[in-house]
Amino acid sequence: MKIAAYILNQVPSKSVSKTPYELMIRKKPSLKHFHLWDCKAEVKHYNPQQKKLDMKTMSCFFIGYSVGSRGCRFYCPSHSTRVIESDRAVFFEDDLESGVPTLQLVNLKEDHTFLPMPFVTLPTDIVIPVV
């Protein structure tokens, strides 16, 4: 809910031509830091015990923005705490394996199927009354 309110405060609405952020702070907001939710990212996390040949980054998924800092929150399935915050990340928003749906061309064609229907004849000796 916090992220949705944060995004809605950064974009203009129908009733007012300016954004709520612009009305309150009196300067135009920057939209460069917005990223697709659940996009893949390589995150460099802070680790003071890191050795020289240890992995410097880890593969994560973007899940939101930090409340008290300029960093972002990431879900890391391989990390022990699972959710980390960092401001040093490279986002792969155009990656097909990240789970982000992409537009695909779908060919629509009509396919007619004919089912044989049994032909039923009424016996001639039955009289149907007309009302």
Structural domain includes residue 6: yes
66 lies in some domain: yes
Domain span at residue 86 reads: 35-99
- What token pair was written down for 41? 């990212």
User: 97 to each of 1, 30, 102, how far by Cα in Å?
Assistant: 27, 28, 10
Provide the domain count of the chain. Answer: 2
Residue type, 31: L
Do residues 70 and 26 both lie within one domain? no
Predicted TM-score of the model (pTM): 0.58
**Does position 29 have pLDDT exceeding 70, yes or no?**
yes
Environment class of residue 50 by beta-carbon count within 10 Å: exposed (0-12), middle (13-18) or buried (19+)?
exposed
Q: Please check whether residue 49 lies inside any domain of the structure.
A: yes
| pLDDT score at 22 | 87
- Confidence grade of residue 98 (pLDDT, cut at 50, 70, 90): very low
Specify whether 18 is located in the same domain as 44.
no
Let me know whether 46 and 17 are in one domain.
Answer: no
Please indicate, yes or no, whether residues 16 and 51 belong to a single structural domain of this protein: no
Contact between 65 and 34 under an 8 Å Cβ cutoff? The reply is: no
Rounded Cα distance between 27 and 4, Å, is: 21
Give the model's confidence band at 119: pLDDT under 50 very low, under 70 low, under 90 confident, else very high: low
Q: State residue 102's pLDDT score.
A: 57
Q: What integer is the mean pLDDT of 41-48?
A: 86
pLDDT tens column, 60-90: 999 888 877 888 899 988 878 889 888 889 8
Least trusted range by pLDDT, from 19-23, 45-49, 70-74, 123-127: 123-127
Largest Cα–Cα distance of the chain, in whole Å?
A: 100
The pLDDT mean for the chain works out to 79
Residue 119 lies in a domain: no
Whether the predicted pLDDT of 3 surpasses 80: no
